[in-house]
Every structure is written in C-alpha cells, then in structure tokens.
Amino acid sequence: MRLKLSLKLEDNVIDIDYRRFLLSFIKLALSTYDKEYFNNLYEEGANKIKPFTFSAFLPNPTFSQDKISLAEKYMNITISFNDYATGVMFYNSFNQIKFKKFPLKDNNLTLVNISLLNEKEINDNTVKISFLSPLVVRDRNRETQKDMYYSFEQEKFNETLLINLREQLKYSDILENVLNDFSIKPILPKKVIVKFYEKNIECSIGTFELSRE
C-alpha cells in the first residue's frame, strides 16, 4: 500500500536536512492519532525497523550549503507500507492533522491532500527501477554502536544490502528465502551525500536492475 501526501509550503525555501522535519511531521501525525501505537514504534531506546518508508518530491530544487530553493511552494511525500493495516493506521493519522499548520524553521507546511496510489503487479524476474529517494545501506558495529554507510561504489555494498534486507524481512510476511537468488545491478547510478540529523550519509540514487534467477 502506498500513500501520496501533498504538502503546501508558506515559503519556497526549506532546510537542507528536510528529511528530518518530514520524519517529525510523520511522528506528530501518529502520536496525535494513536499514542500507544506511536510509543510502540518510537519508545525510547528502541532500535526497531519501522514498517514504512518514504520519499519526497521537490519541484525543481536548487541546492546551497544549508538550504534548498524550490520552484514552487509545495512538496509531495510518497509513503510505502508492507501491509494494509499499517497503511490504514497512517492514513487515519494523517487525516487527523489535515489542513493544520506544521511549523518549520522559518517556514510552515500544511497537509492539503492524501491520495491512495495504485499498486503495479510485477510478474517478471527482472525489473528496472529508479529510486525516488536515496538508497541507504548501513552497517552497524554492534560493539561500538557506530554506523558505516555504503554507496554502490563500495565493495561491501551488495553484501551489506542483503544483510539489511534480511533484517527488514523479519518484520514482514515475506519469507527470507526470496533473497537467495536476488541481485541488484547499477544501470545509471550516482553516489550522493545526504544530510540527516547532522550526519553526512553516503548513499545511491539513479536506475538499478533488480533480478531473481
């Protein structure tokens, strides 16, 4: 299940770390609608995998060191869920704060529309995809609790990506053995550095080929 959120901005300039305020917006929606559900996802000290992922569309952005200037005063978020029940919970949460201003640094955003997106059924063993949001591949050192991030250029990219995917599948209804013959191949890739919670994270965007033999 996927939802598209249409967000209106009061100003066309946003912070370079915009994913941070989008996550805060999502947290506000969940905590406003169902505090118990929110606490279960984000209770202090929990490092659990969340049952959703999101990407943002920015209209013709121009980047500077700490700001992004948009061609128009809006942005869209696409949120994907593994199961229908989670999607319904999020839909109800967003509907609760629709048309209410959410303060940003030197700006405000307002959720003005929520759309349910059609799902495309894939029957082929190979598919080309373009990432709407950077692909983050993280390797956490359990002893030091420090993170390393790998783009497609790094030798440990594929190995670490599969570890990440297997961990995420533990929280879904999909069997882990689907990854036994899974591969990802860069077609038109690009390494990017994104800022998130004061961290500079190396990750990948562009077109990739996913396949199962």
Residues 6+ away with beta carbon under 8 Å from 12? 69, 70, 71, 72, 73
Query: For residue 112, which amino acid is it?
Result: V
* Of 73, 114, 116, residue with least CA distance to 97: 114
First to last CA, the chain: 26
Residue 174 and residue 161: Cα distance in Å, rounded? Answer: 17
Count of CB atoms situated within 10 Å of the CB of 90: 23
Highest mean pLDDT among 5-14, 64-73, 169-178, 192-201: 5-14
Q: Are 98 and 92 in contact (CB under 8 A)?
A: no
Confidence of residue 83 (pLDDT cuts 50, 70, 90): confident
DSSP state, 176? G
Residue 193 and residue 202: Cα distance in Å, rounded? Answer: 5
DSSP state, 179? G
**pLDDT, position 45:** 53
Q: pLDDT digit string (tens) for 85-115?
A: 999 999 999 999 999 999 988 899 999 999 9
Give the global pTM. Answer: 0.79
Residue 78 and residue 80: Cα distance in Å, rounded? Answer: 7
Q: pLDDT digit string (tens) for 125-134?
A: 899 989 878 8
Measured CA distances, 144 to 57, 141, 148, 160 (Å) = 35, 6, 11, 18
Count of CB atoms situated within 10 Å of the CB of 142: 6
Pick the CATH number of 126-212 from 3.90.1150.10, 3.30.70.1900, 3.60.15.10, 3.40.309.10: 3.30.70.1900
Residue 76 and residue 199: Cα distance in Å, rounded? Answer: 23
Assigned token pair, 204: 């990948």
Same CATH fold, 126-212 and 2-117? yes
Q: What are phi and psi of 119, to 5 degrees?
A: -100, 135
The structural domains of the chain, with segments of one domain joined by +, span 2-117, 126-212
If phi > 0 it is left, if psi is from -120 to 50 it is alpha, else beta; for residue 88 that is alpha
Share of the chain above pLDDT 70, in %: 96
CATH assignment, 2-117: 3.30.70.1890
